[in-house]
Amino acid sequence: MAADILEQILAVKREEVAALRKRASRQALLDEAAAQSPPRGFAAALRAKAAGGVGVIAEIKKASPSKGLIRADFNPAWLARDYETGGAACLSVLTDERFFQGANRYLAEARAATRLPALRKDFLIDEWQVLEARAIGADAILLIAAALPVAQMQELAAVARERGMDVLVEVHDGAELDAVLAAGLLPQALLGINNRNLRTFETRLEKTLDLLPRLPAGCEVVTESGINGTGDIARMRAAGVTRFLIGEHLMRAPSPGAALKDWLRA
C-alpha cells in the first residue's frame, strides 16, 4: 500500500462526485432530503452525554485500509441498537465503499433502528455529497481539514447548516488547527482531533493532548481514533476531554454495546 492513503482516497472521491453529479440533480437531492425526518441534534446529544461524564460517538465500521476486515458479522441496525443500549450519545457510520466497505444504506439502516443522531463518516469534497448526506438521513457530516482548502470547508459547512446538520471538523496537526481557526468554523462546529495520521495511518494519542493548549475557550473537542480501553479514556478525561469517537476496538467485541457500557462504568 502506498504511503499516502489519503491521496488515494481523494482520487476515488473525485470520481465518485463526478458520477453522483451525473446521476442526480441538485434538486433531486434536495427533494430526497426534504422527505427525510428532521435532523436530530448531533452536537446537542453529544453535549448532553458529555455533561454527565463521557459522550461517545460510537462508530459502525466494517473494514479499514490499514486493518482490512474488522467485523464479518456486520448488521448496521443491530449494531446501532446495541450501541444505543450501551449508552452511546451518537452514531458514526462509514459510507465509503472502496476503502472501508461502507454504504449509504448502512447509515439509513442504523438511524432507522434507533433514536440516536448519525454522522456520515466519509471524505466529503463537494456540495453534492453534503446534500446526499441529508438525503440518506445524516444528522451531521465530517469535514477533514487535510482534504479541504479553507474556503471549501467554509462552503460545505454552510451547506450542511442550511440543511440543519451539525458539522464535525477534523484536524490532525497544528497547521490544520490554525487553518480551521482562521476559517472561523469554531465554535459553531465540533472539533475532532484525529490521533490517526490519514497519510500513514499511524496512531498516537499525544496528537490530541499536544493540541489541547492551543484551543479557544468553549471549543467542543472530540478525540478520535486509538481509544482502546478505560485507561485511554481516563487519560483523556484527566486532560479535560469528555467527547470520544470510538470504533475499531468496540467493533471487534462480540457485543460492541456491552463493551461500551463496561467502559462507561469504569
CATH code at 180?
A: 3.20.20.70
Name the band, by pLDDT with cuts 50, 70 and 90, for residue 5. confident
Which residues are identified as catalytic?
A: 59, 61, 121, 170, 194, 224-225
pLDDT in tens, 176-219: 999 999 999 999 999 999 998 767 678 889 999 999 999 988 89
Average pLDDT over residues 24-42: 97
Residue 3 has pLDDT above 60, yes or no: no
pLDDT in tens, 228-259: 889 999 999 999 999 999 999 999 999 999 99
Does residue 197 contact residue 1 with C-beta atoms inside 8 Å? Answer: no
Structural domain count, the chain? 1
Q: What is the average pLDDT value for the chain, to the nearest integer?
A: 95
In angstroms, the CA 49 to CA 90 distance is: 9
In terms of residue numbers, what domain contains 105? 5-265
Per the listing, cell 448502512 goes with 106
pLDDT in tens, 128-149: 999 999 999 999 999 999 999 9
Fill in the amino acid letter for 114: T
